[in-house]
Structures are given as structure tokens and as C-alpha cells.
């Protein structure tokens, strides 16, 4: 088994996840068998309970685990489907150790960071792997953080045990100083020193920079950081993250990794699909404005996969999608038409809680009444049903039991479906973590529906992350007025896709299609949404 660790230094947000995913894609293109894992130093057991404002989007895997958004990059860049074993946090490690300790499994020993925590980290890294696998582990955070120390210690031990099969890649920043007109290597030197404090010598240093790194600077890093100069790899800023694999291939990062770890790839590298995507990106010409009405509009990472899925669909439609983020709390019935008048498409993403729902409902009404292509995802779909009930069926006091006490809960917990007007109180002790409907489920599609035209299939599989469901009690009433239910769970109890008979392109989905979109395989829902938004613009 070969192990590659990717650490980051100097500052956060250098794109460690993209470098990891790009390296993985280069190795995959040579047929190397891979696992990509993310190790996060925080104490949450998983990111499921973390605010998207703090840590960005929660990415859900097929097997229903709530993970770090970097797993989204891994899946988008490679054809690998990640699993729950690929997301490891300090919280998960400690939780496993503490439960063993309570069961007396440590047989009287004092449980300590070394060896118990480090052994547990090593066990998690190797979990469900095969002997011939290459495992790439990205370490979250920046070296020097107190929280990452046990992870660095585990890496040190791995290196000590399997010197020839372990490789350390350290990503740093080379800042450009305008006044002196040069890029600076000192922060990189310091960051490598910080690693050395933990007993780790990097094998490869990837240097992020927005200016050309000269031969002299490479020599300097090589000399001071104790790596050969061919292991100092420049990583320049590029227009799109999807150009990074090509860039790192030119910098020979994958050649170096293969050589250093003595990997024998089964086939030659093939970058055709990346090159073709780059060509497609350069052809994206026609502007189209998509308005996204959300809660976390100030941090793009909160809707990472959504952003990427729209981008993929834009590129494949030769469109330059201009995303306008609107905070739902700023929208009301008076300003909605002014705010959304230049929208070619409107999208309401997933979300939790009742903050800003009135603004979202106004936006849905506007899209429905003005024939603007509309896509509602999860909460967005639930709100579309509430909007329809309120404004078309005129059902008074309608809502979702997630938001408060309503007479008519169009959306509610399944356990509430049969309790008329009764709100089930959540037990204070009920865990919020990992208790939703999570992961991939099959969905049956109604024939001749918009969904069937989009998917060209009767049975699909999509990933879910929600607690509440459409209350089937109102189904017939809604259908009579033109709402179409076009996607169902196998037992037909769960209503998963809605459409509007009287609208050009109106779709609500209970699942998250954005999680499965890839640059080479854009998701059909987003492809169709962007295409119809373009048509709407040119109408």
C-alpha cells in the first residue's frame, strides 16, 4: 500500500483540496487504484451539525455520510465514489476511542494521544483498503494548528514504518511583494520548519503563486527546505479549478509521485477529457443570469456543489452563467419584481429553519406567475409546494412543521402525517447529527413528465439530506390545480419531484442533484435548467 499525505502551510484556502483532487485525477487517468481521504482536525464527529458559514457546504456521500466539501472535489475530479470511510475528523477518532475506553477495551492502560489516538488515526486511514491501493490523504487546516498535531504525529509514524511507501506533499504560498517585484520564499521556509518540528520532512513542495517562480527561487526553496529542485512544483493561479490537473501535469507532479513511490501505472496518462473541457470553457460566450435566493449568500463555499453544477451546465451549454446571490431576508412582495426582473432563471437551494422563508416564497410566486425557469432544491421544493397551496389553492395557514405551528402542514415529519394539527415535540435528547434521510435512494419517474424528458429514464438514484417530507394528504388537491408529482419512492409514499402543468420549466426536487454533477458529466437537471434559462432570455 502506498500513502500520500497532503498538508498545507502559510495560509488556509490555498486550494489543497483541488491539488489533492487534481493529483488523484492524474493518477486515475493512468489507471492507478486510488482512495482519497480527508482528515479534519475539528472535534465535530462529522460536519453535519456545522453551520455552512463556518465550514462551507456539507457534502453527502452515496452511503449517507455527511462529509467535508473537499470530498465533492474528489468526486468531481475523479470517477471515484467516496464513502463514509473517506471523511475522518478528530471528533470521529475521539468518539471511537472514548466508547472503547468505556467498554474497558484498553485493559487498564492510561489512554493517551500517543499511542492510542495516533493508532486510531492510522487504523481509520487504512480502513477498508487493499494492499495494492494508493491512498491520498489530505490533512485539513494549516500546519502549526494545535488541533492537527496528532495527525502529523501519525504521518511521522507512517513514514518511519514504511519509508519507501509514504510520500509527503506540502502546499505553501509564495507571496508576491509589489515593491520589491519578487515572490518570497521565506513563509515557505518557515512552514517547512514548522513541519520539521513535528518530525516531518516533506518530499515534495507545491508552491502556489500568482507570479512566475524563477529558477533561483526554486533553487532557494530546494536548498533551505531540503528537497531536490525537481520536487519544488509551481502551482500558478488559473481561471478555472478544472485547469489545475493540466497545470500540475505540466509541472510533472504526477511523474514525480509515481517515481518516488515506485508506482506501476497500468496505462499511459490520458488528459484528453481535461483538454477538451478547457476548450469548452473557452467557448462559453452567451451570458445568462441565474438568481439564487439563499441564506448563506456571503460565503460561496456554503453552496459549493451547487455552484459547480451550474458551472458544468453552463460550460456544456456554451453559456457564461452569471450567478446573482440574493439574501432571502431582503425580498418582500413589494420589491420582488424589481429585484428579479432581469432573472433568466431562479433557483432556491436547500436549507434549514424558517429564516427568510417569506422572501423565498415571494421569489417562487414571481417565477411561477412570470414563466421564469425555476428550480427548487430540497427546501426549495418544499417551499414551492407551500407557495402553490397558499396562492393557488388559497389554503390558509399553510406551512411546514419545521417552521412553526400551522393548521395545514404541507410539509412535515412522516411521524406527523397522521396526527391532525398536532405538533410532535422534539425530545431534547434526540440527536441532530446523522439523523436525517441521508444518502442515495432510488426514485421512480412518471412517464411523459418533464422529469422523464430530462432524465430519459424511469428509475434514477439521487442523494438526500432532509428530515421533512411532502405530506401526501394534500396531493390530490394540489394535482387538481396543476401541480404534478413526477417522482416517487418505491412504495409511492414519498413525493420527490414536482412540476407545474401550466409553466414552461418549473421543477422541484426533494434530493440534491448538484452533488452528482461532474465537469465531464453535467447533471441533466442543471443542463436543462440552464438551456431553458437561455431560451427564456432569448424569448
Question: What residues act catalytically?
Answer: 378, 512, 514
Convert residues 385-404 into a mask of x (bound to ligand GLN by CB under 6 A) and - (unbound): -----------------x--
Closer by beta carbon to ligand GLN, 274 or else 468? 468
- Binding test (CB under 6 A) with ligand GLN, winner from 303, 374, 468, 506: 468
Three-state secondary-structure class, residue 462: strand
Relative to beta strand 2-8, strand 166-173 is parallel
Question: What distance in Å separates the CA atoms of residue 275 and residue 256, rounded to the nearest whole number?
Answer: 21
Count of CB atoms within 10 A of residue 262's CB? 9
Could you tell me where the beta strands, DSSP code E, fall in 448-513? Answer: 459-466, 469-470, 483-488, 495-500, 506-509
Q: How far is the CB of 510 from ligand GLN (least distance, A)?
A: 8
User: Residue 379 Cβ, how far from ligand GLN at the closest point, in Å?
Assistant: 3
Q: How far is the CB of 58 from ligand GLN (least distance, A)?
A: 9
Question: Contacting ligand GLN (CB under 6 A), which of 92, 465, 503, 531?
Answer: 465
Subset of 402-441 contacting ligand GLN (CB under 6 A): 402
Residues 267-306 as x/- pattern, contact with ligand GLN by CB under 6 A:
----------------------------------------
How far, in Å, CA of 323 to CA of 326, rounded? 10
Q: Which stretch binds ligand GLN (CB under 6 A): 44-52, 271-279, 347-355, 519-527?
A: 347-355
Q: Would you state the torsion angle of the CA atoms of residues 465, 466, 472, 478, taken in this order, to the nearest 10 degrees?
A: -90
- Does residue 378 bind ligand GLN (CB under 6 A)? yes
* Residue written as grid cell 414519498: 494
Which residue stretch of 150-158, 184-192, 273-281, 350-358 sits at the interface with ligand GLN (rule: CB under 6 A)? Answer: 350-358
Q: How far is the CB of 496 from ligand GLN (least distance, A)?
A: 12
Contact between 253 and ligand GLN by CB under 6 A: the answer reads: no
E strands along 166-246, which residues? 166-173, 176-177, 182-183, 204-209, 232-236
- CA geometry: angle at 61 spanning 59 and 63, to 5°? 150
What gap in Å lies between CA 36 and CA 18, rounded to an integer?
12
How far apart are the C-alpha atoms of 519 and 421, rounded to whole Å? 46
35 contributes a contact to ligand GLN by CB under 6 A: no
Rank residues 97 and 326 by Cβ distance to ligand GLN and give the closer one: 326
3-class SS at 491?
coil
Q: Which stretch binds ligand GLN (CB under 6 A): 123-131, 361-369, 464-472, 526-534?
A: 464-472
- Name the grid cell of 130: 487493499
Q: Is 351 in the site for ligand GLN (CB under 6 A)?
A: yes
3-state secondary structure of 289: strand
Among 379, 389, 410, 494, binds ligand GLN (CB under 6 A): 379
Tell me the sheet residues that pair with 420.
none
Which of 126, 300, 467, 518 is in the footprint of ligand GLN by CB under 6 A?
Answer: 467
Alpha-carbon gap, residue 531 to 526, rounded angstroms: 8
Is residue 50 near ligand GLN by the rule CB under 6 A? no
Nearer to ligand GLN, 242 or 488 (CB): 488
Q: Please give the sequence-ordered ranges of beta strands (E in DSSP) within 73-131, or none if there are none.
A: 87-89
Binding site for ligand GLN (CB under 6 A): 350-352, 378-379, 402, 465-468
Amino acid at each position: 500500500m502506498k500513502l500520500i499525505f497532503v498538508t498545507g502551510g502559510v495560509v488556509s484556502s490555498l486550494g489543497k483540496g483541488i491539488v489533492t483532487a487534481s493529483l488523484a485525477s492524474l493518477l486515475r487517468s493512468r489507471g492507478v487504484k486510488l482512495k482519497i481521504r480527508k482528515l479534519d482536525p475539528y472535534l465535530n464527529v462529522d460536519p453535519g451539525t456545522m453551520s455552512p458559514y463556518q465550514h462551507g457546504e456539507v457534502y453527502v456521500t452515496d452511503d449517507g455520510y455527511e462529509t467535508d466539501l473537499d470530498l465533492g472535489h474528489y468526486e468531481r475530479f475523479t470517477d471515484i465514489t467516496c464513502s463514509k470511510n473517506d471523511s475522518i475528523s478528530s471528533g470521529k477518532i475521539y468518539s471511537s476511542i472514548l466508547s472503547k475506553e468505556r467498554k474497558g477495551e484498553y485493559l487498564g492502560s492510561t489512554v493517551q494521544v500517543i499511542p492510542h489516538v495516533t493508532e486510531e488515526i492510522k487504523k481509520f486511514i487504512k480502513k477498508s483498503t487493499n494492499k495494492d491501493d494508493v491512498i491520498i490523504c489530505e490533512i485539513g487546516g494549516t500546519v502549526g494548528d494545535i488541533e492537527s498535531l496528532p495527525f502529523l504525529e501519525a504521518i511521522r509514524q507512517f513514514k518511519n514504518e514504511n519509508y519507501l511507501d509514504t510520500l509527503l506533499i506540502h502546499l505553501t504560498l509564495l507571496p508576491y511583494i509589489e515593491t520589491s517585484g519578487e515572490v518570497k520564499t521565506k513563509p515557505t521556509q518557515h512552514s517547512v520548519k514548522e513541519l520539521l518540528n513535528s518530525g516531518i520532512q516533506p518530499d515534495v513542495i507545491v508552491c502556489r503563486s500568482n507570479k512566475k517562480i524563477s529558477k533561483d527561487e526554486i533553487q532557494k526553496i530546494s536548498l533551505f527546505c531540503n528537497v531536490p529542485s525537481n520536487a519544488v512544483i509551481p502551482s500558478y493561479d488559473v481561471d478555472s479549478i478544472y485547469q489545475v490537473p493540466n497545470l500540475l501535469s505540466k509541472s510533472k507532479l504526477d511523474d514525480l509521485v509515481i517515481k518516488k513511490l515506485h508506482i506501476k501505472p497500468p496505462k499511459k496518462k490520458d488528459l484528453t477529457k481535461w483538454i477538451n473541457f478547457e476548450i469548452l470553457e473557452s467557448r462559453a460566450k452567451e451570458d445568462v443570469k441565474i438568481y439564487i435566493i439563499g441564506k448563506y449568500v456571503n460565503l460561496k463555499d456554503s453552496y459549493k456543489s451547487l455552484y459547480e453544477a451550474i458551472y458544468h451546465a453552463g460550460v456544456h451549454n456554451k453559456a457564461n452563467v452569471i450567478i446573482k446571490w440574493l439574501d432571502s431576508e431582503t425580498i418582500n412582495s413589494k420589491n420582488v419584481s424589481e429585484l428579479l426582473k432581469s432573472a433568466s432563471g431562479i433557483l432556491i437551494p436547500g436549507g434549514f429553519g424558517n429564516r427568510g422563508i417569506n422572501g423565498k416564497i415571494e421569489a417562487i410566486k414571481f417565477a411561477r406567475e412570470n414563466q421564469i425557469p425555476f428550480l427548487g432544491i430540497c427546501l426549495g421544493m418544499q417551499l414551492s409546494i407551500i407557495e402553490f397551496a397558499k396562492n393557488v389553492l388559497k389554503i390558509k395557514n399553510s406551512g411546514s412543521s419545521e417552521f412553526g405551528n400551522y393548521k395545514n402542514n404541507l410539509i412535515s415529519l412522516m411521524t406527523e402525517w397522521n396526527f391532525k394539527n398536532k405538533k410532535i415535540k422534539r425530545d431534547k435528547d434526540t440527536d441532530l447529527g446523522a439523523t436525517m434521510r441521508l444518502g442515495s435512494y432510488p426514485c421512480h419517474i412518471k412517464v411523459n413528465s418533464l422529469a422523464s424528458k430530462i432524465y430519459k429514464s424511469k428509475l434514477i438514484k439521487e442523494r438526500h439530506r432532509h428530515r421533512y417530507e411532502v405530506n401526501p394528504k394534500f396531493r390530490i388537491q394540489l394535482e387538481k390545480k396543476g401541480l404534478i408529482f413526477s417522482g416517487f419512492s418505491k412504495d409511492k409514499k414519498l413525493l420527490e419531484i414536482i412540476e407545474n402543468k401550466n409553466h414552461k420549466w418549473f421543477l422541484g426536487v426533494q434530493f440534491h442533484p448538484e452533488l452528482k454533477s461532474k465537469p465531464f458529466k453535467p447533471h441533466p437537471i442543471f443542463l436543462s435548467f440552464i438551456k431553458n434559462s437561455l431560451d427564456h432570455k432569448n424569448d
